[in-house]
Chains A and B, each alone.
Chain A
């Protein structure tokens, strides 16, 4: 590129240099429906000259078609992008906008105000440096304002800009502004918010959006845009090094590097580091980038580290400052935000993605659900969409982590449904719980294999699942009789019988069924360990928990047998009179009537009990046992 020389060119050259140095502020906007968020943002873009002429032209023509602002420009239309939303006149998802002033670039996440879309708020808050919270001057703080402030604070936002909007409707009265500001500061103190800046605005008229309003002489502070241009809200730059390994780079034998984005702190060649959770200690040899080796790198940079010693590092490990390693644990006190239509049940297994590691885990216990309008704590046995709760996260392995408040990258997690693969929840680690994981596993002299040798059989679980009345217990009993006759050591765990003892405290709600299956699974596992062939006869209606039990067992130790009979047939048989009582409304949560049964997708065996006798089916199970497992 030819270097320019004229005075005008020099001015432009300076501008270009400034542009390349300019930083970005990411913020979210939130507030109640009709507080005017979209209008405020549209106005901000308009006043900051961030709109192009064709966007303005579209705005003029759209304002006539969809607008709610009469003949004036409807700024909210700039942000409500999707057709469906235009029709409903409500923002239904997170919209990201960028604009820039001479001082800073901004990325704005505009989030919906009405209640059922809490998940979008949490999404926007997770990547925002600060929140602009809108309050309608006429209405003051509303339950939804509290809810949004709570969620933003829960996701770690520590700086709030309070925009007291529609000041024109209250005659620009200072008393109104002061009262709302004081109310919010009281709220912010409860939410551990570090900083609150309050600005009186009218998005409709443009007061104090980019320049001082003529109507608020009593307000000497900066305009909303000036606040955003100058406020400091960066997180996580201080603190010891944390580099979650994203990828192992190994182009050939001569080079091995560990790539990732520095989550916290800084690194220099020669720094002593430790790889977690393995605990191997080494030093940083090089910081490798395409643009040459670096003398130092810091939080936010995507780098590749080469280490001094031969080290075994995989994706998901964390490279940390040797003097200040991370805690490691497998059980945590966490906050959970539930994002899915299907409820969360304690004990149900999900995939948990944290840092660059994906593991199996469960929310084993819900301490309480939080009413985000009142901040009251309520007992909860399951969570519905948009619920927020405090509870226990249990992982199948120990990981290196940080509390979310210290380092969001190593303390935030998402929950993924194992079947639909949807993101169903998210959470934040508060601190580690020292429980089962701190009790070391005691190695015993007599092993599972030794016991199996003594019984002379392959221990395993034959898991009979199906509707009530399908014939599970009858077939399982016939199988047990045959195995016993052959001198096999077996035991039948019958769901109904277990409810008289081990599971007498459980009811029939989905959360009880999840726990019921978990316990029976654990008992079956112990019996297999003891060397027995275990037959389980249990409705076990949920695919998820049956899969969980399968994963608890070793390879070939879990045989899923679907005892299949249509609901009409089972209801006709009704051996215990339960269907009649369920139909009469005397029993609730009855599988097949008002509680779902999820049939197995790939069971080892399907037994149709409509046309075949229990004895013939038992012979089939035995034949399978002899062929595959005997």
Chain B
């Protein structure tokens, strides 16, 4: 009698399968790399997938210019160590217009510096598939998205006309101008990701682990002042707190949590006893109900 594969090994095998299918079927796929823990896992899986070959696709990073400095350093180290070509794209037009997370709403800023920037980069390089680390457990509308998710010529997602996705028979065919988003981590949970990082000893940005950091408390949330561009409101003063991040985005929009966890195992321990879902730390999701779905239809990941 054979024993069933553990959840982690099943998930790993499924992700590898998805990666291989994308590499075999698309003309010019790209791996989206944000520098977060999901990206780190995705990269690790990419190396496993293609071994002993080097992963046959470049990394693409959308740099809003407001990422944590440690993320940028981590990104460069990952690309170097994994032997990936690294492409970095910033929406220069948005930058010239001075779009930033302090003067503009989170929605507008995200639209211009992330969504638009991503579309520009995909168009510029002519990528027909973008592989990314989104998971179905992150948010309700993600839960219904396909693993191979079609985008129109305008990069829009139409939740009502998604292709049925049966078995693991992914329909990778595109009409002219259409592209595909591919999500190898669709069926992973935040817990699985940490457990895998722990088991496989995967390096992640140190921001995920607790350390004394200079923070601002605003609206009940803690923001790390990553550089001197952080604007203080009257009466606000930076504090030193022992914090870590559950999720990483642009630093002025990503809240930290107080923590003592300094290893993946300790993070897991805290996660088990924590009572808050992960994207809660992202201010961009806190706009009206289901704003995330609207962003996705627009082309955001």
Do the two chains belong together in a single complex?
A: yes
For the complex, give the distance between the alpha carbons of A247 and B10 in Å.
19
Q: A412-B167, A414-B169 are in contact. Are A93 and B7 (CB under 8 A)?
A: no
Q: Which of B12, B168, B174 has the most CB of A within 10 A?
A: B168
A298 x B2 contact (CB < 8 A): yes
For the complex, give the distance between the alpha carbons of A41 and B163 in Å.
25
For the complex, give the distance between the alpha carbons of A272 and B123 in Å.
48
B167 x A301 contact (CB < 8 A): no
Given the complex, which residues of A lie within 8 Å of B169, measured CB to CB?
353-354, 412-414, 426
A302 x B2 contact (CB < 8 A): no
A81 x B140 contact (CB < 8 A): yes
Q: A2-B263, A288-B51 are in contact. Are A246 and B20 (CB under 8 A)?
A: yes
For the complex, give the distance between the alpha carbons of A257 and B50 in Å.
10
Q: Is the CB of B293 closer than 8 A to any CB of chain A? A: yes
A1 x B264 contact (CB < 8 A): yes
Q: How far is the CB of B277 from chain A (nearest CB, A)?
A: 4
With A261-B16, A302-B16 given, name 16 new contacts (CB 8 A): A12-B269, A16-B268, A20-B8, A23-B6, A81-B140, A82-B140, A83-B289, A93-B162, A107-B187, A123-B166, A246-B24, A412-B166, A421-B175, A421-B178, A423-B166, A426-B164
Q: A53-B276, A94-B144, A302-B13 are in contact. Are A23 and B5 (CB under 8 A)?
A: yes
B52 x A416 contact (CB < 8 A): no
Q: Is the CB of A304 closer than 8 A to any CB of chain B? A: yes
Q: Identify the B interface with A (CB < 8 A).
A: 2, 4-10, 12-14, 16-17, 20-21, 23-24, 47-54, 136-137, 140-141, 143-144, 159-160, 162-169, 171, 173-175, 178, 186-187, 189, 191, 195, 198-199, 263-265, 268-269, 274-277, 280, 289-290, 293
A 80-101 to B, binary, CB cutoff 8 A, 1 in contact else 0: 0111100000001111111010
Given the complex, which residues of A lie within 8 Å of B290, measured CB to CB?
81-83
Q: How far is the CB of B284 from chain A (nearest CB, A)?
A: 15
Given B164, B178, B268, which contacts A423 in the complex, CB threshold below 8 Å?
B164
Given A93, A315, A351, which contacts B173 in the complex, CB threshold below 8 Å?
A351
- Mostly, the A contact residues are mixed
Given the complex, which residues of A lie within 8 Å of B6, measured CB to CB?
20-23
A246 x B17 contact (CB < 8 A): yes
A93 x B144 contact (CB < 8 A): yes
A-B contacts at CB below 8 angstroms, number: 181
Q: Is the CB of A572 closer than 8 A to any CB of chain B? A: no
For the complex, give the distance between the alpha carbons of A96 and B143 in Å.
5
5 residue pairs bridging A and B, Cβ less than 8 Å apart: A24-B7, A52-B275, A257-B52, A260-B20, A302-B14
Q: How far is the CB of A343 from chain B (nearest CB, A)?
A: 17
Q: Is the CB of A468 closer than 8 A to any CB of chain B? A: no
Interface residues of A in 255-305 (CB under 8 A from B): 255, 257, 259-261, 266, 288-291, 298-302, 304
Given the complex, which residues of A lie within 8 Å of B49, measured CB to CB?
259, 302
A54 x B48 contact (CB < 8 A): no
B13 x A261 contact (CB < 8 A): yes
Q: Is the CB of A339 closer than 8 A to any CB of chain B? A: yes
Q: Which of B53, B174, B274, B290 has the most CB of A within 10 A?
A: B53
Q: Is the CB of A554 closer than 8 A to any CB of chain B? A: no
A123 x B24 contact (CB < 8 A): no
Q: Which of A52, A83, A247 has the most CB of B within 10 A?
A: A247
Given the complex, which residues of A lie within 8 Å of B163, measured CB to CB?
422-423
Q: A82-B159, A251-B54 are in contact. Are A119 and B164 (CB under 8 A)?
A: yes
Q: How far is the CB of B184 from chain A (nearest CB, A)?
A: 11
B164 x A289 contact (CB < 8 A): no
A261 x B17 contact (CB < 8 A): yes
Q: How far is the CB of A69 from chain B (nearest CB, A)?
A: 18
A246 x B268 contact (CB < 8 A): no
For the complex, give the distance between the alpha carbons of A351 and B182 in Å.
21
Given A250, A260, A290, A351, which contacts B48 in the complex, CB threshold below 8 Å?
A290
Query: Nearest CB to that of A2 among chain B residues?
Result: B263
Q: Is the CB of A249 closer than 8 A to any CB of chain B? A: yes
For the complex, give the distance between the alpha carbons of A107 and B293 in Å.
22
Q: Is the CB of A144 closer than 8 A to any CB of chain B? A: no
Interface residues of A in 49-64 (CB under 8 A from B): 52-55, 62
Given the complex, which residues of B lie within 8 Å of A408, measured CB to CB?
167
Q: Is the CB of A120 closer than 8 A to any CB of chain B? A: yes
Q: Is the CB of A216 closer than 8 A to any CB of chain B? A: no
Q: How far is the CB of A240 from chain B (nearest CB, A)?
A: 14
Q: Is the CB of A364 closer than 8 A to any CB of chain B? A: no
